[in-house]
């Protein structure tokens, strides 16, 4: 390693030495070892190659010194050629070891990333919906990327660095002391010239790096929010594009200034240390030359010492910061484990029950429910807050009971915020009830596996969410084994067949982020087509026709009548026209069922349902508005 490279290494370690110091956690270490255990053979081979490589690093200077002695002593030319050939063999061996070590390092690191990412991804998929409503998506993705990669460094870079540097340092010091203790002490005295400036400059550069990272993160957040379809629309309608550009440019300019400043600080630092290294070599040559001339040291030993000197400072400075690097890696592991330690609120039953064959009944029995507080479903670090908002536990459903017989349609109506959508979320067990029970076919949903739930019940929400994939992929999410004919059949029944057939790529047309390349009605009809493909025995429609115009609504209603035939349906509707034919209508207000009956019965009673009906269909004429319209 050249002295300039040594300077760069010193600065790197010093920069990372300024990171926050944390207490060593044995529990964290034990958990890390569980992830490392499947790769223990590769780790052992990796460490062995690192040690052998460190030995070869020290061997070359000694052979170079022996060559000088052979030349000055006018020994047999065969010896010189043999030594040169041995140096060449060692160089080839070093190159081969370097490639092999790098392969093991990359393999272990990438395997670890795979294991950690898969563990976090699988765990997050088991989290309840409440977790995702509170968590910042970017913070969660960062755990799968930045923190996992930081944890990987513990195995690839830090582990090999500590092992290799310890062996290199021990061998180098031992050989140098055996050659000349005076020159060795001189080299050690000059060590603070490397370490002290490196730490001071490292602190300064680390601060600049953090500031640049903060600005880059802010720019990333601004771009993510403003460049999404809803965000871009909001900026165009209510935002100030010029101000947005000015704010972005200010941050980008600050990052530019920090980049220039960082580059100059680094260059000045490396130039200064390279100069110090050259001066140190000059002192070695001077003292070593004087000792050689006086006969107390061989000329070859002077050359060997000068070469060994370049191999002394890098491991010393690296080991000086090794503890901090290990702590930094532990921080990344702890941040990953923090997510893995958050228990899913919805637990799979140990021995799942099954739903009886045939049509399925739906039953709510004395259900009480409160949305969980943040400490049960989230982490402050994932919400980007100092402390979690622990408000919660306020009951939103109070003693709700009803039953939908197999094949019946039960509709829920009421004011916004009355608790209708909460009922829809309890059915597919997106949340668990606090008291009472929700049953499908007489079986408590808490006794059913998630696979059984997905096969039995289908839910269409009012936002009609789609992935940024093709129409085919969005449909096959419901039933991957469906063939082409089945896909076209459900599209036709959802009144989308003609539209999709007219698209240039047909089923392979990409719908865009959240389906924004489709109109609201088209997007919602595609989600209904996906439901039709799933063929569930229980269907929950949560404002499924909310975004449709009158023509589309009528077409989809026809498709739904066909699709719901013989199936149990729970329909949440704002438009009362869509649920007149329901077998049972429940009026929900303030989390309670205040009325129940058929459309005709509820109108005859003249209660809350009749009031809602009058609001939608019998609104009185605003005389003032008519007068203004005619003026």
Give the DSSP per-residue string, 103-116: HHHHHHHHHHHHHH
Residue 408 burial by Cβ neighbours in a 10 Å radius (0-12, 13-18, 19+): middle
DSSP 8-state code for residue 146: I
CA distances from 431 to 132, 198, 362, 369 (A): 13, 54, 16, 9
Residue 631 has pLDDT above 60, yes or no: no
Taking the C-alpha atoms of residue 364 and residue 401, their distance in angstroms, rounded to an integer, is 5
Residue 500 has pLDDT above 70, yes or no: yes
Looking at the DSSP bridge assignments, the partners of residue 443 are 440
% the chain with pLDDT above 90? 13
- The sheet with strand 395-404 has its strands ordered as 395-404, 362-370, 435-440, 443-444
Tell me which residue has tokens 């990359």. 106
Give the model's confidence band at 493: pLDDT under 50 very low, under 70 low, under 90 confident, else very high.
confident
Name which residue leads in pLDDT, 253 or 20: 253
Taking the C-alpha atoms of residue 173 and residue 464, their distance in angstroms, rounded to an integer, is 69
Dihedral angle over CA of 581, 584, 588, 592, nearest 10 = 180
Long-range contacts: 473-480, Cβ < 8 Å, 24+? 474/511, 474/515, 474/526, 474/530, 475/507, 475/526, 475/529, 475/530, 475/533, 477/530, 478/530, 478/531, 478/533, 478/534, 479/533, 479/534, 479/535
**All structural domains of the chain:** 3-340 (1.20.1560.10), 362-381+392-624 (3.40.50.300)
Task: Express each pLDDT in 277-293 by its tens digit.
Answer: 777 778 788 888 888 88
Provide the residue count of the chain: 631
pLDDT number for residue 439: 94
Give the model's confidence band at 436: pLDDT under 50 very low, under 70 low, under 90 confident, else very high.
very high
If you average pLDDT over residues 451-462, what whole number do you get?
85
Residue 356 has pLDDT above 50, yes or no: yes
Name which residue leads in pLDDT, 489 or 321: 489
Task: Express each pLDDT in 155-204 by its tens digit.
Answer: 666 666 677 778 788 888 888 888 888 888 877 776 666 666 656 666 67
Taking the C-alpha atoms of residue 240 and residue 65, their distance in angstroms, rounded to an integer, is 71
Name which residue leads in pLDDT, 95 or 465: 95
Is residue 464 within 8 Å of 526, Cβ to Cβ?
Answer: yes
pLDDT number for residue 9: 54
Task: Express each pLDDT in 113-156 by its tens digit.
Answer: 788 888 888 888 888 887 887 777 777 777 777 777 777 666 66
First to last CA, the chain: 89
- What DSSP assignment string belongs to 357-407? SSS--EEEEEEEEEPPPHHHH--HHHHT-SS-------EEEEEEEEEE-TT
Taking the C-alpha atoms of residue 104 and residue 40, their distance in angstroms, rounded to an integer, is 12
If you average pLDDT over residues 420-448, what whole number do you get?
91
Is residue 598 within 8 Å of 583, Cβ to Cβ?
Answer: yes
pLDDT number for residue 472: 92
- Comparing CA positions, the residue from 59, 17, 94 lying closest to residue 318 is 17
Taking the C-alpha atoms of residue 372 and residue 271, their distance in angstroms, rounded to an integer, is 59
Taking the C-alpha atoms of residue 274 and residue 201, their distance in angstroms, rounded to an integer, is 15
Give the helix ranges, DSSP H, for 439-543: 450-456, 471-476, 484-493, 497-502, 520-534
DSSP 8-state code for residue 21: P
pLDDT number for residue 19: 45
Least confident window among 56-70, 293-307, 549-563, 616-630: 616-630
Taking the C-alpha atoms of residue 450 and residue 347, their distance in angstroms, rounded to an integer, is 10
- What DSSP assignment string belongs to 279-346? HHHHHHHHHHHHHHHTTSS-HHHHHHHHHHHHTTHHHHHHHHTHHHHHHHHHHHHHHHHHHHTS--SS
Is residue 322 within 8 Å of 165, Cβ to Cβ?
Answer: yes
Task: Express each pLDDT in 528-587 by its tens digit.
Answer: 888 888 888 898 888 766 656 666 667 667 667 766 777 898 998 877 877 888 899 999
- Comparing CA positions, the residue from 311, 290, 292 lying closest to residue 301 is 292
Tell me which residue has tokens 């590769």. 42
Looking at the DSSP bridge assignments, the partners of residue 395 are 370
Residue 399: what are its φ and ψ, rounded to 5°?
50, 50
- What DSSP assignment string belongs to 242-287? HHHHHHHHHHHHHHHHHHHHHHHHHHHHHHHHHHHHHHHHHHHHHH
Give the model's confidence band at 451: pLDDT under 50 very low, under 70 low, under 90 confident, else very high.
confident
- Comparing CA positions, the residue from 513, 521, 526 lying closest to residue 229 is 513
Residue 546: what are its φ and ψ, rounded to 5°?
-65, -30
Residue 395: what are its φ and ψ, rounded to 5°?
-70, 130
Is residue 563 within 8 Å of 493, Cβ to Cβ?
Answer: yes
Determine which helix (DSSP H) or strand (DSSP E) holds 588, and give its type and residue range: strand 584-589
Dihedral angle over CA of 299, 305, 310, 313, nearest 10 = -160
Give the model's confidence band at 20: pLDDT under 50 very low, under 70 low, under 90 confident, else very high.
very low
Strand bridging mode 395-404 / 538-542: unpaired
How many other C-beta atoms lie within 10 A of the C-beta of residue 63?
A: 16
pLDDT number for residue 199: 60
Give the helix ranges, DSSP H, for 143-240: 148-153, 159-179, 181-189, 191-226, 229-238
Taking the C-alpha atoms of residue 15 and residue 9, their distance in angstroms, rounded to an integer, is 10
Give the contacts of 28 (CB within 8 A, at least 6 positions apart): 330, 333, 334, 337
CA distances from 298 to 131, 137, 402 (A): 72, 66, 99
pLDDT number for residue 454: 86
Looking at the DSSP bridge assignments, the partners of residue 538 are 457, 568
Taking the C-alpha atoms of residue 107 and residue 160, their distance in angstroms, rounded to an integer, is 13
Task: Express each pLDDT in 267-279 by its tens digit.
Answer: 777 676 677 777 7
Least confident window among 21-35, 241-255, 500-514: 21-35
Taking the C-alpha atoms of residue 15 and residue 207, their distance in angstroms, rounded to an integer, is 9
DSSP 8-state code for residue 545: T
Give the model's confidence band at 485: pLDDT under 50 very low, under 70 low, under 90 confident, else very high.
very high
Residue 18 has pLDDT above 60, yes or no: no
How many other C-beta atoms lie within 10 A of the C-beta of residue 526?
A: 24
pLDDT number for residue 288: 84
How many other C-beta atoms lie within 10 A of the C-beta of residue 173?
A: 18
pLDDT number for residue 196: 65
Average pLDDT value over all residues in the chain: 79
Tell me which range, 54-63, 435-444, 561-570, is most confidently predicted by mean pLDDT: 435-444
pLDDT number for residue 250: 86
Is residue 526 within 8 Å of 461, Cβ to Cβ?
Answer: no
% the chain with pLDDT above 70? 79
Least confident window among 172-176, 395-399, 597-601: 172-176
If you average pLDDT over residues 234-254, what whole number do you get?
79
Give the model's confidence band at 521: pLDDT under 50 very low, under 70 low, under 90 confident, else very high.
confident
Looking at the DSSP bridge assignments, the partners of residue 229 are none
pLDDT number for residue 333: 79
């Amino acid at each position: 390693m050249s002295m300039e490279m040594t300077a760069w290494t010193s600065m790197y370690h010093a920069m990372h030495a300024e990171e926050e110091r944390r207490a060593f956690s044995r529990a964290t270490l034990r958990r890390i070892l569980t992830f490392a255990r499947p790769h223990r053979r590769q780790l052992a081979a990796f460490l062995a190659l690192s040690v052998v490589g460190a030995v070869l690093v020290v061997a070359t200077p000694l052979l170079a010194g022996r060559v000088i002695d052979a030349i000055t002593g006018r020994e047999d030319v065969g010896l010189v050629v043999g030594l040169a050939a041995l140096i060449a063999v060692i160089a080839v061996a070093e190159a081969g070891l370097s490639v092999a070590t790098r392969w093991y390092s990359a393999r272990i690191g990438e395997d670890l990333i795979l294991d950690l990412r898969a563990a976090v991804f699988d765990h997050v998929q088991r989290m309840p919906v409440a977790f995702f409503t509170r968590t910042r998506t970017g913070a969660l993705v960062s755990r799968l990327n930045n923190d996992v990669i930081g944890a990987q460094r513990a195995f690839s870079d830090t582990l090999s660095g500590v092992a290799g540097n310890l062996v290199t340092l021990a061998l180098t010091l031992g050989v140098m002391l055996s050659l000349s203790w005076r020159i060795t002490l001189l080299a050690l005295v000059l060590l603070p010239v490397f370490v002290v400036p490196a730490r001071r400059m490292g602190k300064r550069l680390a601060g600049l790096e953090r500031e640049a990272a903060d600005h880059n993160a802010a720019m990333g957040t601004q771009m993510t929010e403003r460049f999404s379809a809803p965000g871009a629309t909001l900026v165009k309608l209510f935002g100030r594009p010029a101000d947005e550009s000015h704010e972005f440019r200010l941050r980008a300019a600050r990052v530019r200034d920090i980049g220039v400043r960082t580059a100059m600080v680094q260059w000045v630092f490396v130039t200064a240390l390279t100069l110090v290294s050259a001066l140190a070599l000059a002192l070695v040559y001077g003292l070593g030359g004087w000792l050689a001339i006086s006969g107390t040291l061989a000329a070859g030993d002077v050359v060997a010492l000068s070469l060994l000197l370049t191999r002394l400072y890098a491991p010393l400075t690296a080991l000086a910061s090794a503890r901090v690097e290990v702590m930094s890696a532990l921080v990344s592991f702890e941040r990953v484990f923090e997510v893995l330690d958050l228990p899913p609120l919805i637990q799979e039953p140990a021995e799942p029950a099954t739903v009886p064959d045939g049509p399925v009944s739906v039953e709510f029995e004395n259900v009480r429910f409160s949305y969980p507080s943040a400490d049960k479903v989230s982490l402050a670090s994932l919400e980007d807050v100092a402390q979690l908002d622990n408000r919660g536990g306020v009951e939103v459903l109070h003693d709700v009971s009803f039953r939908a017989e197999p094949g019946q349609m039960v509709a829920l109506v009421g004011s916004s915020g009355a608790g209708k959508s909460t009922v829809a979320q309890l059915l597919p067990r997106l949340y668990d009830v606090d008291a009472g029970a929700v049953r499908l076919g007489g079986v408590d949903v808490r006794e059913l596996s998630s696979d059984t739930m997905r096969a039995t019940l289908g839910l269409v929400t009012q936002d009609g969410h789609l992935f940024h994939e093709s129409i085919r992929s969005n449909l096959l999410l419901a039933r991957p084994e469906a063939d082409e004919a089945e896909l076209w059949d459900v599209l036709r029944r959802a009144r989308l067949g003609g539209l999709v057939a007219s698209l240039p790529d047909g089923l392979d047309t990409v719908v865009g982020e959240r389906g924004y390349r489709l109109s609201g009605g088209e997007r919602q009809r595609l989600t209904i087509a996906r439901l039709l493909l799933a063929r569930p025995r229980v269907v929950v429609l949560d404002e499924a026709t909310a975004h449709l115009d009158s023509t589309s609504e009528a077409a989809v209603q026809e498709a739904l009548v066909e699709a719901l035939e013989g199936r149990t349906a729970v329909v949440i509707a704002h438009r009362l026209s869509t649920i007149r034919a329901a077998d049972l209508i429940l009026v929900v207000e303030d989390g309670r069922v205040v009325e129940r009956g058929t459309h005709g019965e509820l109108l005859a009673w003249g209660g809350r349902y009749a009031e809602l009906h009058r609001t939608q269909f019998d609104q009185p004429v605003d005389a003032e508005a008519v007068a203004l319209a005619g003026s």
